[in-house]
């Protein structure tokens, strides 16, 4: 949006647009951005966080969690899993702050891809 505003301002300075036309154009751009943000927010909140673990020993795990639930849980207590002995070995290498940052910035796609020395794989995907 900032780039588009700069282009409109440059066109006004160059005399290619008058002030009234520039104001109209900026209003249209703001309205479009507002609609796009609302649509994006609704769509993003419908997404799922998928965690896939594939073990060389045949222990495979697939977990799908709504992104809204993930936001709430991570913000409420992201250190809880690391304090549970059975879960600690699975979450110790996952950067919770990275997950929160990815969700806050509405990132899509694979955000974590880990392959251990023994061939176990962990993937975290937002889709």
**What ranges do the domains of the chain cover?**
2-44, 47-126
Mean pLDDT of 45-69: 88
Q: Which is it for strands 121-126 and 109-115: parallel, antiparallel or unpaired?
A: antiparallel
Higher pLDDT, 117 or 41: 117
Say what the pTM is. 0.51
Placement of tokens 């005399």 in the chain: 15
CA neighbours within 13 Å on the CB side: how many for 119? 6
Higher pLDDT, 51 or 81: 51
Mean pLDDT of 27-55: 73
**Alpha helices (runs of H) in 46-94, residue ranges in sequence order:** 67-77, 80-83, 85-91
3-state secondary structure at position 57: coil
3-state secondary structure at position 99: helix
């Amino acid at each position: 949006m900032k780039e588009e505003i700069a282009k409109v301002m440059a066109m006004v300075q160059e005399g290619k647009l008058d002030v009234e036309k520039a104001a109209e154009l900026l209003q249209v751009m703001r309205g479009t951005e507002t609609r796009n943000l609302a649509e994006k927010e609704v769509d993003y909140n419908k997404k799922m966080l998928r965690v896939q673990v594939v073990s060389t020993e045949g222990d495979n795990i697939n977990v799908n969690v709504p992104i809204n639930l993930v936001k709430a849980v991570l913000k409420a207590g992201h250190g809880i899993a690391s304090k549970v002995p059975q879960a600690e070995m699975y979450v110790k290498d996952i950067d919770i702050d990275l997950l929160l940052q990815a969700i806050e910035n509405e990132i899509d796609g694979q955000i974590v891809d880990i392959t251990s020395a023994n061939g176990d794989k962990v993937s975290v995907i937002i889709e």
